[in-house]
Structure 1
């Protein structure tokens, strides 16, 4: 229900040329909730209407000198069109009443002499009617304004949606780029850890990289998810992290050459490796694989003497990759690979899972053959295309300066920093990021030689 007390008080204007009537009306209505204004003529009333702001009801006598009541109400309709109008008449003149209604837009008419109670009720009803109309106009104005705003909003909605969509897409791309930078930093941190492990001795150079490459390819070939394959790859890169701190004198011995005390110290490295990375939540799954990569298939391994499929698949994969790379002893070529496979064969069902060997066979040449890269992609078109054209070309090593490198080249030799840290393994195909990284390394810790890559050149004819 409308609270009219919040609205400004309504002004009621009485117009009559008889002063005593105006005084009588003022006394009669002095306790009402509206303000009473009076004027002695139509002209004075019109002037007052120009100045007053809240006249809601005009009550005018019909017979006045100058402007008659009908003429005044007709002009007042133009000055205060929202105000209600009532005619006071002391004559039974139907024509004047009709004119008051038609020309002056009278709301009602009251005959003289009036009944005080009736005129008070009539005035109250008119004031209340005005207030209701005023409130309706206010609400209608609000609705009209809101409709205009809604129309404007609808007109601009498509543009706003496009702008917001563009902003959301931009934020999404920024978030993706930030996440990719975090993932790249994470991968580079793992790589840095593995290279620090390999710095402990010459025989360990490339070991973590080779084991990780083998393990990753086998995991993918077995149909493991990308997340599982990545966990195995990270664990393989860090599988020897627990050996840090073990004296070199122990590490240079085979297990069967160690004293019981030395063997106990050596066997702690699997659990120590898990513990070393357990503080990082993202590495905990990899830590489990590191713990179990020395479990043997027959249950004679350590630290928990798991058997068969009790050993996590990732740990079994890393164990075979670790054993193969140890058997290769950093040698390359078919004879070294066949020797490693022969050694693996003697341990199937004992230390190693026999079900993994067929898959490993597929990927050994991609890690240890000089002219192929991990994943099996040949580094040159040899063996493909026209045979006559192929026979006319050969692969040769070529030494380049860092500034001469370009994407697409393949490393013929691994790159080590001046202080002996492995930077990139042989067989790696360069992209723009790797080229930039090599150039940066050559400024930070320059090697003594250039970069050896595979180059395709025409064979020299012999006569």
Structure 2
């Protein structure tokens, strides 16, 4: 029987123009099973790739002279498409992160400064994924070889088919698990982008709009795939506002100068452009482009009217309008005010057919969001006092305002470790609030 060849050693290439950074990375991974190679520039990294076999993972810094990390990863993608590409970037380089995913086909991005344990686990996962893909290729070669042998060994046909089927089933299960992991990573990336967008101050706006929009879409009977597209588009509907001055974004439309208003009105198209190259998000980009179209045709950017506006865009528009109307207020009075504001725009800015679905879910969504946690009973504890089973009574934000976990989440071992890690990396000025 044809035997599976031994797995070749996988090499990981780190590219950074700072020598101290490369030395630090080499120390972090000195005890790992894979071999670490370093390059002080993108050009040297390309030379190493052309001369070295089994480089399965590349980790590149974004800010390098001559050739940036995005440009480097884009070249690697063309020359070595099977090699997994990871970008090292700072929170300030959001545009570079988007480019790394769009142009360089980045598998993951890692923000600086990193946590050593988390970095090691990410690289291990990438190495394992590369090995799985290579192993699947070798398995295909085995299947082809066995098909030729079956013609000569008819007496052993049943046994051989059973062996082959077992092998394929195992590999299929592994590939299925890999696909699920990739899908989970994709969802996590969309969520991460939405949280970065909200660092400007609109905390939970995207999340609330996404929750409302998803419920309305389900009530309208759209397919599961379309519901997910609406949800992703709602989470990212304001991504085009990145790059617009805060002084403009803090104004109401009526307060903007004509020049400021023209700049602001570009954000819907910019939002579509920012994510269009990501195949899985292309349909969401269409919804983002049209979420400021008005039902009566007076909106932008294309002046669409009525049902010519995509249904997902109309759903996001009515959810966005409601949340903006009441996001600075609290309680049922605010919800009623917001719904009255929506009702006043039906047939003008908003689709009348969506109002009943919005009204059906609005009070539940905002009641859960705005309930005074003091009525539940809560206590502030340090991260060392957390234990499995506790329930968060307030949202957890990092020191720089990034939403980490929502209120109502029940803690387990994984979530507790994540909280402790973030409190070390980006600590807020208080402890964790839990129900008692």
Measure the CA separation in 2 of the matches of 1:334 and 1:341: 10
Query: What is the Cα deviation at residue 163 of structure 1?
Result: 3.2
Deviation at 1:371, TM superposition (A): 7.5
- 2: CA distance, partners of 1:247 / 1:266: 9
- Matching of residues 14-163 of structure 1 within 5 Å: 150-151=154-155, 153=156, 157-158=158-159, 160-163=160-163
Structure 2 match to 1:125 = none
CA distance in 2, matches of 1:351, 1:282: 29
1:199 match: secondary structure: helix
Q: Is the 8 A contact 1:327 1:343 kept in 2?
A: yes
- 1:395 corresponds to: 376
Among 434, 442, 445, the residue aligned to 2:423:
442
Secondary structure in structure 1 of the residue aligned to 2:377: strand
Counterpart for residue 364 of structure 1:
362
- What is the aligned partner in structure 1 of residue 176 from structure 2? 176
SS in 1 for 2:277: coil
List per-residue Cα deviations over 1:101-157 (Å, max 9, x = no partner): xxxxxxxxxxxxxxxxxxxxxxxxxxxxxxxxxxxxxxxxxxxxx9x9654x16xx2
Which stretches in structure 2 are left out of the alignment for 5+ residues?
A: 1-149
1:172-207 CA distances to partner (integer Å, 9 max, x unpaired)?
A: 12111211121111111111111111112x2x1111
Deviation, 1:288, is 0.4
Measured at CA, do residues 149 and 225 of structure 1 come closer, stay the same or move farther in structure 2, by a change above 3 Å? closer
Whether the aligned pair in 2 keeps the contact of 1:371 and 1:427 (CA below 8 Å) is: no
Match runs of 1:143-292 below 5 Å: 150-151=154-155, 153=156, 157-158=158-159, 160-200=160-200, 202=201, 204-292=202-290
Native 8 Å contact 1:324 1:341 kept in 2: yes
State the 1:305 CA deviation.
0.9
Q: Is the 8 A contact 1:332 1:369 kept in 2?
A: no
Give, in whole Å, the separation in 2 of the partners of 1:439 and 1:346.
47
Q: Which is greater in Rg?
A: 1
Distance change in 2, residues 1:193/1:344 (3 Å)? same
- How many equivalent pairs are there? 285
Partner secondary structure for residue 344 of structure 1:
helix
Residue number among 343, 346, 367 corresponding to 2:344 in the alignment: 346
The whole-number CA distance in structure 1 between the counterparts of 2:276 and 2:176 is 27
State how far apart, in whole Å, the 2-side matches of 1:271 and 1:222 are.
26
Q: Deviations over 1:7-37 (max 9, x none)?
A: xxxxxxxxxxxxxxxxxxxxxxxxxxxxxxx
Aligned to 1:413: 394
TM superposition shift of 1:442: 2.5
Compute the displacement of 1:410 (Å).
Answer: 4.3
Query: Superposed, which structure 2 residues align to 1:449-460 within 5 Å?
Result: 449-455=430-436
Which shifted more, 307-316 or 400-409? Answer: 400-409
Distance 1:250 1:232 in 2: 27
User: What residue number does 1:301 align with?
Assistant: 299
Equivalent of residue 318 in structure 1, options 298, 316, 319: 316
- Greater shift, 264-273 or 352-361, is seen at 352-361
Question: How has the CA–CA distance of structure 1 residues 402 and 228 changed in structure 2, closer, same or farther, with 3 Å as cutoff?
Answer: farther
Task: Report the more deviating stretch, 179-188 or 231-240.
Answer: 179-188
**In terms of mean alpha carbon deviation, does 214-223 or 423-432 score higher?**
423-432
Q: Offset at 1:397?
A: 2.5
Secondary structure at the aligned position of 1:245 is classed as coil
In 2, Cα distance between the equivalents of 1:434 and 1:330? 30
CA deviations on 1:34-74 (whole Å, 9 max, x unpaired) are xxxxxxxxxxxxxxxxxxxxxxxxxxxxxxxxxxxxxxxxx
Kept in 1, the 8 Å contact 2:331–2:370? The answer is no
**Higher mean displacement: 315-324 or 330-339:** 330-339
Tell me the secondary structure at the aligned position of residue 453 of structure 1: strand
**Rounded Cα–Cα distance in structure 1 between residues aligned with 2:370 and 2:260:** 40
TM-score in terms of structure 1 length: 0.56
Once the 2 structures are TM-superposed, how far is the Cα of residue 317 of structure 1 from its aligned partner? 0.7
1:369 aligned counterpart, secondary structure: helix
Other structure's SS at 1:302 match: coil
State the Cα deviation string for residues 347-400 of structure 1 (Å, max 9, x = none): 111111111121122222343224799xxxxx9xxxxxxxxxxxxxx8322434
The unaligned stretches of length 5 or more in structure 1 are 1-145, 374-378, 380-393, 456-463
Q: Is the 8 A contact 1:299 1:306 kept in 2?
A: yes
Q: Classify 1:397/1:281 alpha carbon distance in 2 versus 1 (closer, same or farther; 3 Å).
A: same
After alignment, is 167-176 or 363-372 more displaced? 363-372
Note if contact 1:296-1:306 (Cα within 8 Å) is conserved in structure 2.
Answer: yes
Give, in whole Å, the separation in 2 of the partners of 1:431 and 1:298.
Answer: 49
SS at match of 2:434: strand
